[in-house]
Amino acid sequence: MMKVRTRFAPSPTGFMHIGNLRTAIFEYLLAKKYDGDFILRIEDTDQERKVEGAIDFIYDTLNLCGFKIDEGPNNEKEYGPYIQSERKDIYKKYALELVEKGKAYYCFCSEEELEEMRTRANERKKPFLYDGRCSRLSKEKIEENLKNGVPYVIRQKMPKEGITIVEDVIYGKIKIENSILDDQILLKSDGFPTYNFANVIDDHLMDITHVIRGKEYLDQTAKYNLLYEAFGWEKPKYIHVAMVLGEDGTKLSKRNGDASFMDLYHQGYLPEAIVNYLVLLGWSPKENKEIFSMDELIQNFDETRISKSSSSYDVKKLNWFNAHYIKEMANQKYLEWIKQYFKQDTLNKTEEWVNKLLLIYKDHISYGMEINEVTESFFKEYSLSEECQEFLNSDNMINDVLACFKEEIASIKDWNEENINTAISNTKEKTGAKGKLLFMPIRIKTSGLMHGPELADTLYLIGQEEILKRL
């Protein structure tokens, strides 16, 4: 069996968005499941959209996610170079080979002529398809244009009748009408290949066995197949995956301002939680299980279980995954991690106090930056909201509970959680209050909050003197 080789081929246009990363995860798991190679290739044929430093972002993202890149721009092997702008001569050679074979042709049409064709197509309310006029130029005319330096592109010559069949692991056999296929540009006038052409050449030359891409490109795959056939090359296995939709039902994209991996990472989402969440967007394991380590994902991944239908990106579900991974962290590791997100002014606080504060909220946060929101009451002026006031006035017993609790707190000689819990128990015994009528008045009056971590932990951090003042 031929060694499985998959490739992740992003454009260097900024941070990697979530939909793109999910494709990378599928490609990585597929390669590793079969002990194959995972290749990184940079598709920078659209030079105008290239962003400085974007290749580093891609590497940082894949490294943080725990992907071992077997080959790529920073790890060159015999299939390089791995950046498309460094492979221009290769594409030109193959484009000219197709011209020789009569499967492609020089197109000298100016932008004005193409605009005129587009306008006519719009008027007829039909999609624009190039009319192939340059494919009918005489050999003499072509030679004359080339000799005179007339700018040209090279277009693929599409069959105008019949069908092209695309075989896909998820969707089976798809029939594409050749009449809807445009004579696509293979080589642009600046000598750069188009995305579709470069992909086919590189996938063949790099021995890529499986191509995972968005379902929205399924029709385009017919053009790929015709290129493979024109060269007499073996086609890779195609796996088209349905889109990840945003919470508003539209396709996730950087242009829509949707979260990228780095945005999430900087907000305090853990890479392993992001990977675990994303892999389950459009893929289901055999067993009813949600939490997977990378090794378990590799072991359990089955490409035939990728879903045909779109999945929705749900921040609440991502938060659930992330909260799980935060809870699983060892306390020391958690403290080192959470302190990079903690922005409160702790000038008058001891390290022990800060560590305790951060630890009591370990089970109460779902991402790093949230620590500031949940702990802000410890750093701002004490006050009671209208809702808090309303609760304190909701039952006559509440004043008795607070008066009793104040006496109990005042009598504590050694300030620790155990003695605070004893004070709460004594208040329960003396007043007969329990549940909501016991805990809520104490929490509200002492912390200004209606909910929070263990009450004794919270009171310990507020301090005996401050609590007596508030009571």
> With 70 as the cut, is the pLDDT of residue 5 above it?
yes
Where are the CATH 3.40.50.620 domain residues in the chain? Answer: 86-241
Paired residues of 5 in beta bridges: 37
Q: Name the maximum alpha-carbon separation found in the chain.
A: 108
Q: Percent helix, strand, coil in the chain (nearest 5)? A: 50, 10, 40
> With 80 as the cut, is the pLDDT of residue 320 above it?
yes
Give dist(CA 324, CA 425) in Å, integer. Answer: 32
Give dist(CA 88, CA 96) in Å, integer. Answer: 13
Going by their DSSP bridges, the two strands 37-40 and 5-8 should be labelled as parallel
CATH topology of domain 86-241: Rossmann fold (3.40.50)
> With 80 as the cut, is the pLDDT of residue 166 above it?
yes
Looking at residue 321, its pLDDT comes to 98
pTM for this prediction? 0.90
Looking at residue 245, its pLDDT comes to 87
Span 335-381, pLDDT tens digits: 999 999 999 998 889 999 999 999 999 999 999 999 999 999 999 99
Residue of 88, 254, 349, 356 with catalytic role: 254
* Peptide bond between residue 73 and the one before it cis (omega within 30 degrees of 0): no
- The dihedral over CA atoms of 38, 8, 213, 154, expressed in degrees to the nearest 10, equals -120
Where are the CATH 1.10.10.350 domain residues in the chain? Answer: 386-470
Span 284-294, pLDDT tens digits: 999 999 999 99
> With 80 as the cut, is the pLDDT of residue 306 above it?
yes
Give dist(CA 235, CA 300) in Å, integer. Answer: 26
Percent of the chain whose predicted confidence (pLDDT) is above 70? 99
Residue 360 neighbours by CB distance under 10 Å: 19
Paired residues of 105 in beta bridges: 155
Give dist(CA 146, CA 154) in Å, integer. Answer: 12
Residue 469 annotated in active site = no
To the nearest whole number, what is the mean pLDDT of the chain?
93
> With 80 as the cut, is the pLDDT of residue 453 above it?
yes
- The dihedral over CA atoms of 299, 303, 306, 308, expressed in degrees to the nearest 10, equals -170
Looking at residue 257, its pLDDT comes to 57
Domain spanning 386-470 has what CATH number?
Answer: 1.10.10.350
Span 100-130, pLDDT tens digits: 999 999 999 999 999 999 999 999 999 899 9
Q: Which long-range contacts (CB under 8 A, 24 or more apart) does 431-437 make?
A: 431/397, 431/400, 431/401, 431/404, 433/397, 433/400, 433/401, 437/395, 437/397, 437/398, 437/401
Residue 465 burial class via C-beta count within 10 angstroms: exposed 0-12, middle 13-18, buried 19 and up: exposed
